[in-house]
Structure 1
Amino acid sequence: MDLSWIAAFLGLGMLAALATGIWVAVALFAVALAAMMALVPVPAGPVMSTTVWGAANSWDLTALPMFIWMGEILFRSRLSEDMFAGLSPWMRSLPGRLLHVNILGCGIFAAVSGSSAATTATVGRMSLPELKQRGYDERMAIGTLAGSGTLGLLIPPSIILIVYGAATEQSIARLFMAGVLPGAMLCLLFMGYVAIWAMMNKSKMPPQEMAVPILQRLYATRRLFPVIALIVGVIGSIYAGLASPTEAAAIGVMLSLLLSWISGTLSRESFAKALMGATRTSCMIAFILAGAAFLTVAMAFTGIPRELATWIGAMELSPYALLIALTLFFVVLGCFLDGISVVVLTTSVILPMVEQAGLDLIWFGIYLVLVVEMSQITPPVGFNLFVLQGMTGRNIFTVARMALPFFLLMIVAVALIVAFPGLALWLPQTMLSN
């Protein structure tokens, strides 16, 4: 049978399996096992057991549960209250005023969480009631939170960058460095849009509050020191070459426990809930990665990725044309799958095309995360939309409309890193050269 027909049947089989509602990991295993048994004269059982063991026995993945646990601990602390109190005095003089707290608060929490949903929930549970009470436009309050919450995927330590690094055998430290400038760029795009919107819609802004004296601002800033120290301890140790991502993750857990204990939020109950939450999430991701590894091996045996790369090469698409096609593909796929599933499902098929086009895999990882960020605010399966639906009681499609301007700004961010690859590559190249 022609390989194009085989690929089509396997793709339809995957879609059919996912449509039944079974776990993504089970669908991956089922399709890979069917492909091995039907198409390849190789015993599927030994290949599956060897592949799953190899996927699980990865030192890079050790950082994953630790960073997830760190985020779970901080989610149950008073971090959101401290960030709001520390940031709000400085934002009152900017156009858009406290709406910027959502953006900067998400950016800061993203630097200690790595999870988009956790970032949205942690910042939102404090900021949304405050913004509503002060009379801010609900559409912008929810929209800024939905868009900025996606920064948890990009700003290190990003869980999805760890997954991508493990799946593609790229340096996680380099990926973390590469995510810093695009993350800052996205924050600036969001803040610029909010400032312009506020100047053009003054009637929708609450009355101007009294300016806070500089000494009071500095005094309020002290509440940001613990989280800044945590960011420096975790990310700074990686960038300075003092610790690997795995070692930095362990440091982060210890500092998070210390921060939670000092703030009085660490108890036997909160510790147990954080540990179990991290265990469940880590096991889910590990199961998906194992299934993706087996599917990758099965695809390699069938020769589909190699033939697909040859086919793409024969079409002589420019890198820009390929990226436009991939962007549309990922956005559509992200409407139905979570970000991690999108990455592990497509890696084995997409990477041969990317390498054929001569694209840098570190840069492509940042591009991929930016595109996957869009899927967090696209219905029907947008995790940030689900979080905000539960917090606000608004329909998921209403929340999606509120987040639409920030979805469009993410498209601008993708265009910028395509036009200026140095936004993602300059920092890792500079840090490594030094």
Structure 2
Amino acid sequence: MDIFIAGLLIVLMIVVLGSGLWIGLSLLGVALFAMEFFSSRPVGDSMVFTIWGSTSSWTLTALPLFLWMGEILFRSRLTADMFKGLAPWLNRLPGRLLHANVIGCGIFAAVSGSSAATCATIGKITLPELKKRGYPDDISMGSLAGAGTFGLLIPPSIIMIVYAVAADVSIAKLFVAGVIPGVMLMAIFSVYIAIWALRNKDKVPAADADMSFSQKLYAGRHLIPIVSLIALVIGAIYSGVATATESAAMGVAGALALSAIERSLTWASFKEGLYAACRVYCMIGLILAGAAFLTLAMGFIGLPREVALFIGGLHLSQFWLLMLLMAFFILLGCFLDGISMVVLTMAVLLPTVQAAHIDLIWFGVFIVLVVEMAQITPPVGFNLFVLQGLTKRELPELARMALPFFMLLVLAVLLIYAFPQIVLIGPSLM
């Protein structure tokens, strides 16, 4: 009977999501159906209390603030200046300006917290410039799709905040845990680009005229504002001076101040950024509410217990349990966005993960890496959607371009499993 109910709800979920209904409303609808027909619990009271509890957490206040900070920067000249500051330093590297996608996404991820915002912002800057200079579309777009996922891993990360709330772990420790894996992933991507460039020298345009060290330093002045903002936000969290929410507020204030100083802040851009952040947060809030109610419904039906017992009954080692979960999340990513995946599954999976003696901070970074894979996996790969809007290319073509970087994300997961201190050394020092 439990298998029948689970199968029915999965089919219903796929049908409702496939209809084009908003994800949050789809989750609420499936939860209402499950509670009404498979549980004796009063539906109305349960829904009201669950939705209120899932959306009224003070910790979640950091989420709209980081979104707003990213929107402010998106509408300023700071992002374009970042490319000007980076380009002279990349001229002699194999692959040259292709590394601007990786480094640019890494820098912007540290102030946006959003994968889609990172991919869109850096893509608007780098793709036209790379095309104009003659770089191949495959590696240009593929590296952007992969590097755009840094917005999920390099703190401040929106999905890390959501996971921390769901798993009841420290946001600050989770942020610190994401730093070294984020830098490692940037290095892996850059090494791959360098190897590709060395093997395809005829496809890489000639280097620009060399600049002297002093000229490079002068061009690097464009990086000062955005690097200073990163230092303000991340430094306040890591030093313990401010909580994640307070640091997010400082980031918004800093972004507003920088935009005002460079005269790119107008009343119109201020309103546009605020409206855009509100729209995105309302979408996320609805998803959180729907996922929380669906999680409650699954709990009353008993499916989480059955799933945990099934997985536990497999008697898998830690490694094969994580590989199973990776495959599960990649499959789930074909139908849901990252936040829905995290909120919807944590209540089911955390008891099993804890029983397997897996550290929850480490598991948070693992989940983020796996969700990053889903961002470049069709048919619901958010970064692929963003790239499609930027380039007007077909999704299968973009997915093919992103495939090498998907495999590099798999490599990153294997590395943090083999060397867990890559993740845990930062939080252990706090």
TM-score, normalised to structure 2, is 0.97
- Structure 1, unaligned stretches of length 5 or more? none
Task: State yes or no: 1:280 paired with 2:260.
Answer: no
- Residue in structure 1 matched with residue 262 of structure 2 by the alignment: 263
Whether the 8 Å contact between 1:305 and 1:352 is mirrored in structure 2 is: no
- Structure 2, unaligned stretches of length 5 or more? none
Cα drift, residue 289 of structure 1: 0.7
- Residue in structure 2 matched with residue 210 of structure 1 by the alignment: 209
Q: Name the CA distance, whole Å, in 1 between partners of 2:421 and 2:11.
A: 38
TM-score, normalised to structure 1, is 0.96
Q: Name the CA distance, whole Å, in 1 between partners of 2:9 and 2:100.
A: 46
Whether the 8 Å contact between 1:366 and 1:424 is mirrored in structure 2 is: yes
> Which deviates the most, 111-120 or 122-131?
122-131
- Residue in structure 2 matched with residue 37 of structure 1 by the alignment: 36
Amino acid at match of 1:314: G
Whether the 8 Å contact between 1:308 and 1:353 is mirrored in structure 2 is: no
Cα drift, residue 189 of structure 1: 0.3
Task: State yes or no: 1:328 paired with 2:327.
Answer: yes
> Which deviates the most, 261-270 or 335-344?
335-344
- Residue in structure 1 matched with residue 401 of structure 2 by the alignment: 402
Cα drift, residue 314 of structure 1: 2.2
Cα drift, residue 293 of structure 1: 1.3
Whether the 8 Å contact between 1:306 and 1:352 is mirrored in structure 2 is: no
- Residue in structure 1 matched with residue 74 of structure 2 by the alignment: 75
CA deviation string 1:121-174 (max 9, x = no partner): 111111112112222222211111111111011101111111111222221111
- Residue in structure 1 matched with residue 122 of structure 2 by the alignment: 123
- Residue in structure 2 matched with residue 292 of structure 1 by the alignment: 291
RMSD: 1.4
Where do residues 172-251 of structure 1 align in structure 2 (5 Å cutoff)? 172-251=171-250
- Residue in structure 2 matched with residue 98 of structure 1 by the alignment: 97
Q: Name the CA distance, whole Å, in 2 between partners of 1:345 and 1:20.
A: 20
Secondary structure of 2:379 counterpart: coil
> Which deviates the most, 381-390 or 209-218?
381-390
Cα drift, residue 310 of structure 1: 2.3
- Residue in structure 1 matched with residue 24 of structure 2 by the alignment: 25
Cα drift, residue 35 of structure 1: 2.2
> Which deviates the most, 20-29 or 110-119?
20-29
Amino acid at match of 1:151: F
Cα drift, residue 343 of structure 1: 1.6
Q: 1:330 to 1:244 in 2, by over 3 A?
A: same
Task: State yes or no: 1:165 paired with 2:171.
Answer: no
Amino acid at match of 1:304: L
Secondary structure of 2:205 counterpart: coil
Whether the 8 Å contact between 2:161 and 2:171 is mirrored in structure 1 is: yes
> Which deviates the most, 75-84 or 181-190?
75-84
Cα drift, residue 353 of structure 1: 2.2
Cα drift, residue 420 of structure 1: 1.4
Secondary structure of 1:337 counterpart: coil
Secondary structure of 1:98 counterpart: helix
Secondary structure of 2:96 counterpart: coil
> Which deviates the most, 346-355 or 120-129?
346-355
Cα drift, residue 398 of structure 1: 1.5
Aligned length: 430
Task: State yes or no: 1:150 paired with 2:153.
Answer: no
Superposed structure 1 runs of 4+ greater than 3 Å apart: none
Cα drift, residue 278 of structure 1: 0.4
Whether the 8 Å contact between 1:99 and 1:194 is mirrored in structure 2 is: yes
- Residue in structure 2 matched with residue 380 of structure 1 by the alignment: 379
Amino acid at match of 1:63: A
